[in-house]
């Protein structure tokens, strides 16, 4: 134990370090030190245990000691003191050369510090207030710059000439009458918003949000019907092959019911399916049909955006489960048409302000209610030791002729992880635990024709229990499935858990979600707590965001949010909003950023966004 006695105007205290005898080389009697750590009571004296320290060289200015001192996250063995010195000298040398990006009038309207002062105060704040002001200013700048391309894109779209679809109400009514259910009020309202957009000559770019099971597919199908009855093709892009096949069947069913009706002559709508794993001959044929305009609605995976797919007359694009796609994929598909209308759907509801940041260029519709008669999904956590009880529960439900999913984080065993996996458990279920039932298996390595057979058998009730991986996470819709068992639930993200839970509770029976795990980390505990407490997807998304932060929540692929270094859209909504207003104002006043005071801004935008040139072509 090495200890020193230190004092200041207020009194004396002991600082204590364990197992670091070499420390005695650093401390000399009479030197000035800066210590930082937790004050503890030990026996009858107060002490600092293992504090961080800085010893000031003799004659060195110690004025910093009573200021707020920056803490950087540094690699081990990197001296915080040396690093601070370095930062300080960099600031002294280069601050005079840093150009201001925020135009003067923006700064003065929002009472923001200038860049030089902000940089200095964020590193070496004079006081808490100055630190906060620097933080606000730098965050504002980030939001401001981030939103300029989004808003330019939105304006640019407004000026484009798209397709003004004719809305034929009798055809839509005829379709709705053929459905086995009535649309919810929320679905109807959203449909009205979509109709308005489609009827207008501006190209639609609308984000449709709605919790799992809220019935987005049928709304999208109605929009596709509008396109089809105008003689225009629709591309319906989904993230997985299973989902593509399911949508293909579902839409075919919807349109079968449309049938010929004497009072409303319905167009014959032809639906096609195109996925990468289809055999080449079949793909070739479908591509031909798409090219000739024989297919009205083509459903597919990313195969749709690959080369070789050409449309006769693409006018409408639907992207389902958009959070599974990158932004660039969205852009690629829309290049296949001149100015198509685009409907983007997501079941991961995004809090409003964040939505503005991430999708600032889109209009937004929300389905706020689930179809009537949906029963609550009962969620109960089982410990690993209670697995057997969970299986017993499954058995009980299957005996009542309902169906169950059992999901695993892995397909195959991995030597480094001690986790149950889908393949092995499938065997075990088949041979032992559920040998009197039919157990199916589905995962990403199963070939597409096999996947289709399994999914069809499950839908037709020929399979009682479906063992799966997260391929089930999105879209799958089998109303008779009422139990969702999620093994090693602590390995999944919160939104993912909610999505999987949303696979049940789609029919008339009460449904159940049984996550199995013994959560160990704080985050895992928080995720499961939120899953048990909240049924509403919006609430879940908020919790998930809080746990993970926006960058990780949206994933690198699609968000520029990971680029936000200092701004936090969750806690700084006021800045997000005011910076957005400023962007709109700026672009209205100087759409090409030609004014002298906007030159630095323009330069930096070109530097940061390589595609910025395109936006600047706005007239």
Binding residues (CB under 6 A) for ligand ADP: these are 181-184, 187, 210, 212-218, 347, 371, 477, 479, 506
* Residue with smaller CB distance to ligand ADP, 213 or 569: 213
* Residue with smaller CB distance to Mg ion, 321 or 487: 321
SS3 readout for 75-114: CCCCCHHHHHHHHHHHHHHHHHHCCCCCCHHHHHHCCCCC
Residue closest to ligand ADP when measured from CB atoms: 215
The answer to whether 226 and 297 have CB atoms below 8 angstroms apart is no
Q: Is 537 in the site for Mg ion (CB under 5 A)?
A: no
Q: What distance in Å separates the CA atoms of residue 305 and residue 335, rounded to the nearest whole number?
A: 9
- Determine the interface stretch with Mg ion among 194-202, 323-331, 470-478, 479-487 (rule: CB under 5 A): 470-478
* Residue with smaller CB distance to ligand ADP, 439 or 466: 466
At 81, list the tokens.
């003191």
At 455, list the tokens.
């999914």
Q: Could you give the angle at which helices 169-178 and 216-229 cross, rounded to 10 degrees?
A: 140
Which stretches within 160-279 are classed as H helix? 169-178, 185-199, 216-229, 241-258
At 417, list the tokens.
């992880």
94 contact, one of Mg ion, ligand ADP, none, CB 5-8 Å limit per kind: none
Cβ of residue 347: shortest distance to Mg ion, in angstroms? 6
Task: Indicate the Cα dihedral angle 582, 586, 589, 594, nearest 10°.
Answer: 160
The answer to whether 316 and 237 have CB atoms below 8 angstroms apart is no
Cβ of residue 428: shortest distance to ligand ADP, in angstroms? 31
Query: What one-character DSSP code corresponds to residue 414?
Result: B
* Residue with smaller CB distance to Mg ion, 103 or 475: 475
Residue whose entry in the numeric block shows the structure tokens 């086995």: 180
184 contact, one of ligand ADP, Mg ion, none, CB 5-8 Å limit per kind: ligand ADP
* Residue with smaller CB distance to ligand ADP, 398 or 504: 504
Cβ of residue 219: shortest distance to Mg ion, in angstroms? 10
The answer to whether 519 and 528 have CB atoms below 8 angstroms apart is yes
Cβ of residue 558: shortest distance to ligand ADP, in angstroms? 19
Task: Indicate the Cα dihedral angle 296, 299, 303, 306, nearest 10°.
Answer: 30
- Determine the interface stretch with Mg ion among 39-47, 257-265, 472-480, 498-506 (rule: CB under 5 A): 472-480
342 contact, one of ligand ADP, Mg ion, none, CB 5-8 Å limit per kind: none
At 498, list the tokens.
């909610």
* Residue with smaller CB distance to Mg ion, 503 or 509: 503
Tally of CB atoms within 10 A around 220: 25
Q: In what order do the strands lie in the sheet with 2-8?
A: 2-8, 11-17, 45-49, 39-42
Cβ of residue 404: shortest distance to ligand ADP, in angstroms? 18
537 contact, one of Mg ion, ligand ADP, none, CB 5-8 Å limit per kind: none
At 199, list the tokens.
């009827």
* Residue with smaller CB distance to Mg ion, 203 or 300: 300
DSSP β-ladder status, 52-56 and 32-36: antiparallel
Cβ of residue 463: shortest distance to ligand ADP, in angstroms? 18
Cβ of residue 182: shortest distance to ligand ADP, in angstroms? 6
Which residues are registered as beta bridge partners of 487? Answer: 516
602 contact, one of ligand ADP, Mg ion, none, CB 5-8 Å limit per kind: none
Cβ of residue 223: shortest distance to Mg ion, in angstroms? 14
* Residue with smaller CB distance to ligand ADP, 51 or 210: 210
181 contact, one of Mg ion, ligand ADP, none, CB 5-8 Å limit per kind: ligand ADP
Q: Write the Ramachandran bin of 192: left for phi over 0, alpha for psi from -120 to 50, otherwise beta.
A: alpha
Query: What one-character DSSP code corresponds to residue 495?
Result: H
Cβ of residue 353: shortest distance to ligand ADP, in angstroms? 23
At 358, list the tokens.
């991430």
* Residue with smaller CB distance to ligand ADP, 186 or 451: 186
371 contact, one of Mg ion, ligand ADP, none, CB 5-8 Å limit per kind: ligand ADP
Q: In what order do the strands lie in the sheet with 465-468?
A: 377-379, 511-516, 481-487, 403-407, 465-468, 439-442
Q: What distance in Å separates the CA atoms of residue 364 and residue 374, rounded to the nearest whole number?
A: 25
* Residue with smaller CB distance to ligand ADP, 287 or 501: 501
Q: What distance in Å separates the CA atoms of residue 469 and residue 483, rounded to the nearest whole number?
A: 15
209 contact, one of ligand ADP, Mg ion, none, CB 5-8 Å limit per kind: none
409 contact, one of ligand ADP, Mg ion, none, CB 5-8 Å limit per kind: none
* 17: Cβ contacts below 8 Å, ≥ 6 apart: 1, 2, 3, 23, 49, 50
Q: Is 475 in the site for Mg ion (CB under 5 A)?
A: yes
142 contact, one of Mg ion, ligand ADP, none, CB 5-8 Å limit per kind: none
Name the maximum alpha-carbon separation found in the chain: 102
Cβ of residue 303: shortest distance to ligand ADP, in angstroms? 21
Cβ of residue 443: shortest distance to Mg ion, in angstroms? 20
212 contact, one of ligand ADP, Mg ion, none, CB 5-8 Å limit per kind: ligand ADP
* Residue with smaller CB distance to ligand ADP, 118 or 482: 482
Cβ of residue 214: shortest distance to Mg ion, in angstroms? 9
* Residue with smaller CB distance to ligand ADP, 30 or 180: 180
* Residue with smaller CB distance to Mg ion, 195 or 506: 506
Cβ of residue 475: shortest distance to Mg ion, in angstroms? 4
Tally of CB atoms within 10 A around 474: 23
Residue closest to Mg ion when measured from CB atoms: 475
Q: Is 550 in the site for Mg ion (CB under 5 A)?
A: no
At 603, list the tokens.
């330069």
Cβ of residue 178: shortest distance to ligand ADP, in angstroms? 13
Residue 406 phi/psi, 5° resolution? -130, 115
Burial 11-20 (b: 16+ CB within 10 A, else e): eebebbbeee
594 contact, one of ligand ADP, Mg ion, none, CB 5-8 Å limit per kind: none
The answer to whether 562 and 549 have CB atoms below 8 angstroms apart is no
* Residue with smaller CB distance to Mg ion, 121 or 186: 186
210 contact, one of ligand ADP, Mg ion, none, CB 5-8 Å limit per kind: ligand ADP
506 contact, one of Mg ion, ligand ADP, none, CB 5-8 Å limit per kind: ligand ADP
The residues binding Mg ion (CB under 5 A) are: 475
């Amino acid at each position: 134990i090495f200890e020193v006695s230190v004092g200041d105007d207020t009194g004396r205290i002991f600082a204590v370090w364990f197992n670091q005898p070499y420390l005695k080389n650093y401390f000399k009697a009479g030197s000035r030190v800066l210590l930082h750590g937790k004050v503890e009571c030990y026996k009858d004296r107060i002490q600092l245990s293992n504090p961080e320290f800085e010893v000031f060289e003799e004659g060195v200015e110690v004025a910093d000691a009573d200021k707020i001192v920056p803490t950087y996250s540094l690699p081990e063995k990197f001296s915080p003191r040396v690093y601070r010195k370095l930062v300080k000298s960099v600031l002294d040398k280069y601050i005079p050369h840093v150009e201001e990006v925020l135009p003067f009038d923006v700064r003065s309207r929002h009472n923001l510090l200038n860049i030089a002062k902000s940089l200095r105060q964020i590193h070496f704040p004079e006081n808490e207030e100055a630190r906060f002001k620097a933080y606000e200013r730098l965050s504002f700048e980030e939001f401001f710059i981030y939103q300029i391309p989004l808003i330019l894109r939105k304006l640019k779209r407004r000026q484009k000439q798209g397709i003004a679809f004719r809305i034929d109400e009798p055809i839509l009514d005829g379709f709705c009458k053929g459905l086995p259910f009535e649309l919810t009020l929320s679905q109807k309202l959203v449909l009205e918003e979509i109709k308005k957009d489609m009827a207008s000559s501006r190209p639609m770019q609308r984000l449709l949000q709605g919790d799992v099971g809220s019935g987005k597919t049928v709304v999208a199908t109605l929009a596709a019907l509008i396109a089809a009855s105008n003689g225009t093709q629709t591309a319906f892009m989904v993230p997985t092959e299973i989902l593509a096949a399911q949508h293909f069947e579902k839409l075919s069913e919807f349109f079968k019911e449309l049938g010929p009706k004497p009072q409303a002559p319905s167009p014959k709508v032809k639906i096609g399916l195109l996925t990468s794993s289809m055999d080449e001959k079949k793909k070739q044929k479908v591509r031909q049909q798409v090219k000739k305009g024989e297919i009205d609605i083509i459903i597919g995976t990313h195969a749709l955006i690959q080369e070789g797919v050409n449309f006769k007359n693409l006018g409408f694009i639907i992207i389902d489960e958009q959070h599974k796609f990158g932004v660039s994929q969205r852009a690629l598909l829309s290049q296949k048409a001149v100015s198509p209308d685009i409907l983007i759907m997501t079941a991961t509801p995004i809090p409003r302000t964040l939505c503005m940041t991430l999708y600032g260029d889109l209009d937004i519709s929300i389905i706020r209610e689930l179809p009537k008669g949906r029963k609550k999904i009962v969620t109960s956590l089982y410990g690993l030791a209670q697995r057997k009880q969970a299986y017993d529960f499954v058995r009980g439900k299957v005996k009542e002729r309902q169906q169950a999913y059992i999901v695993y984080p892995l397909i195959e065993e991995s030597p480094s992880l001690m986790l149950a996996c889908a393949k092995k458990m499938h065997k075990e279920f088949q041979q032992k635990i559920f040998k009197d039932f039919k157990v199916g298996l589905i995962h990403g390595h199963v070939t597409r024709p096999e996947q289709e057979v399994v999914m069809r058998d499950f839908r037709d009730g020929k399979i009682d229990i479906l063992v799966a991986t997260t391929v089930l996470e999105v879209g799958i819709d089998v109303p008779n499935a009422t139990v969702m068992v999620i093994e090693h639930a602590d390995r999944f993200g919160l939104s993912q858990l909610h999505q999987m839970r949303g696979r049940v509770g789609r029919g008339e029976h009460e449904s159940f979600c049984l996550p199995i795990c013994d959560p160990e980390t704080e985050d895992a505990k928080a995720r499961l707590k939120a899953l048990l407490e909240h049924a509403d997807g919006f609430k879940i998304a908020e919790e998930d965001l809080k746990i993970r932060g926006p960058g990780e929540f949206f994933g690198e692929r699609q968000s520029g949010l990971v680029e936000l270094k200092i701004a936090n859209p969750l806690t700084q909504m006021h800045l997000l909003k005011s910076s957005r207003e400023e962007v709109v104002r700026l672009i209205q006043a100087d759409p090409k950023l030609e004014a002298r005071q906007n030159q630095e801004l323009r330069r930096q935008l070109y530097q940061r966004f390589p595609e910025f040139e395109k936006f600047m072509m706005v007239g």
